[in-house]
Amino acid sequence: MRFVWAVAAFVLAALMIGAGIAQRTVFVGPKTESQAIAVAGDAPYVLIDGAVLNSHDGSQTLRVQEPGQIFAAYGRTGDIEAWLARSDYTHLSLKDGALVSDSVAAAAKPPAGSAVLNPVGSDLWLDEFDQQDELVTPLQLPADMSLLVATDGVKPAPSSLSLTWPVRNATPWAGPLIILGSLLLAVGIVLYVLGVRHVRRSRGPRRKGLPLPVTEPIDLAVEGADKGVVSATPPRRRLTRGRRAFVVVPALAVTAVLATGCTPDAWPQLVPTETPSPSPSVVVPEDQGSPVVTQAQAERIVGRIASDVATADQNRDAAAAAIRLDGTALATRKTNYVLRGAIADQAALPAVPSGHLEVVLPEANDEWPRVFFAVAAGSDAGGTQKPDVIMSITQQDPWSPYKLSTLADLASDAKLNLAPDYVGAIPIPADSPFLAIAPKNLATAYADVVTNGTGSQFAALFDDDEDAFQKQLSENRKSRLDAFNQTGAQTGAMTFSAQAASTAPVALATLDSGAIVAVTVDDLETVKPTNADAVIKVDGNPVVQNLAGAAQSSTGFSTTYANQLFFFVPSQSSKARIQLLGYSSNVLEAKVVG
């Protein structure tokens, strides 16, 4: 009966092992599924819609073969379509599950004299790829993102490309079948050995030999000599036990080898149920736009700005700086270039920080202009840790690069309730009535506080206890006034005032109905003679002398310092006061009083 069970075990083991191996070899399906795409026409761009990319589950792999340059980039579908508004392109989309190719004409003509569209390096792309002759790149894009393919933006786009998706061909029962079959094989071997052993033991007793003759003597000496002698031949039962163990070991070894060769796809995936952890929820209005940048995109943009501005600083090239700077940030840079060209020891303005951004607050907006705020860690150059830097960065249209418009050192440890970067912040209109003060009036109100102090009608709105800028400004003004009075008090007078700059405010909402607002306030220093015969000389002040283009004047001089400021403005219903977040101050201009 043991032989019958052994044979049954062998048969079942062979079937199970064979079925497991067949699932991983003969019956396994294709690992990928590809879609070849032929592009007709001579449009310079191909837009592959997110629906096409997600027509199959899993990640996507783009393959393009075309002699010469091949360019590909991906981003939000709306952003790519906006960028393509000035160019013809081929749009690949899905209609009733079938791939459809449409030729789209340019919706607007580019302005006269504008440069030819170049897709390389656009700040709108979340990532881009540039190869020669062949481009293969893996992707994993959601349905709201699309893929742009081109050559150089002038020649026709590649005419042949393909998309590939992985196909899940897991065989979760292959591994268990092979293991169970191997175990049955081992059981069959054991049963077979036991059967053989049983047959050998069940044989009848051996015949007895002929009895010894009665007269034959028994040699007791030989019998006694054999007592206590260990035979060199081990007992037969020990050989039988050893052989059975030796036979089972290869079966277990085969099982281990077969199990080692099984990939994870050959086993059932027992994924434990994850317990969700509580996290703060943000309710996003249905009509709210998408965040204009991601964390990685913002870091790449800031890195490009830092690199371009560093090159412009080195060459004192205002035109190059204007590619990445705007507003007060550009104006103060231009002034610094003039001074560095005229004064040998004039220091350059601090470099724009790059690298990891501690905070990214993008505007939630699908139109233009766009803006995002960012905070970068301060450098420790020279062994001195500099404060973190807060920046306001804007983009005027889809074809323009993002530009740094306001830059300041953080001067507050305020904990603000900011929206996550994947949600974005609502832009606040300049005339919003829902804040403690409308953004368009903030610079004027603060300038009045700087000029009149506690006597200002707006003094109660601002938290002067944490206002490091006013403290530093007061010290600087006193220092300049003391220096002037040492030589010019008898013939002239120095006065100070503040006024709102002409730059527009930028405001993004916080989650507690407040807003972060970036403005510029100009600090004016005016020196005038106090009698008709007096002359104001600035030969000891090379900054004013070079900017004004004169060493003396009978009417006096006026110097303007641009102060880039960031504030937190609470809601109108809040009892909190307006808090200064950061500031930077640089000379902007100097001129002869007319």
What whole-number distance in Å separates Cα of residue 460 and Cα of residue 486?
36
At 83-139, the pLDDT tens digits run: 999 999 999 999 988 899 999 999 988 887 777 889 999 999 999 999 999 999 999
Q: What share of the chain is helix, strand, coil (3-state, %, to 5)?
A: 35, 30, 40
Please check whether residue 578 is in contact with residue 570, taking contact to mean a CB–CB distance below 8 angstroms.
yes
At 567-578, the pLDDT tens digits run: 999 999 999 999
Q: Which residues contact 171 (CB under 8 A, 6 or more apart)?
A: 23, 24, 27, 28, 265, 266
At 150-206, the pLDDT tens digits run: 998 899 999 989 999 888 766 666 678 788 878 878 887 887 787 777 777 776 555
Q: Among 93-102, 273-282, 304-313, 570-579, where is mean pLDDT lowest?
A: 273-282
Helix (H) or strand (E) holding 175: helix 174-201
**Percent of residues, the chain, with pLDDT higher than 90:** 63
Q: Among 246-250, 292-296, 356-360, where is mean pLDDT lowest?
A: 246-250
Averaged pLDDT, 446-470: 95
**Pick from 299, 410, 566, 587: which is nearest to 307 by CA?**
299
Which single residue is written with the structure tokens 């002067």? 464
What whole-number distance in Å separates Cα of residue 192 and Cα of residue 198?
10
pLDDT computed for residue 172 by the predictor: 67
What whole-number distance in Å separates Cα of residue 373 and Cα of residue 396?
15
Q: Is the pLDDT reported for residue 235 higher than 50? A: no
- 3 state DSSP class of 265: helix
What whole-number distance in Å separates Cα of residue 450 and Cα of residue 470?
7
What whole-number distance in Å separates Cα of residue 433 and Cα of residue 350?
36
pLDDT computed for residue 243 by the predictor: 47
How many Cβ atoms are within 10 Å of 584's Cβ, its own excluded?
Answer: 22
Region of 89 on the Ramachandran plot (φ > 0 left; ψ -120 to 50 alpha; else beta): beta
What whole-number distance in Å separates Cα of residue 230 and Cα of residue 207?
27
Averaged pLDDT, 543-547: 96
The strand pairing partners of 48, in sequence order, are 92, 147
At 462-502, the pLDDT tens digits run: 999 889 999 999 999 999 999 999 888 888 999 999 999 99
pLDDT computed for residue 404 by the predictor: 98
Domains belonging to the chain, first-starting first, are 1-29+169-197+248-261 (no CATH), 32-109+116-166 (2.60.120), 295-592 (no CATH)
Please check whether residue 163 is in contact with residue 34, taking contact to mean a CB–CB distance below 8 angstroms.
yes
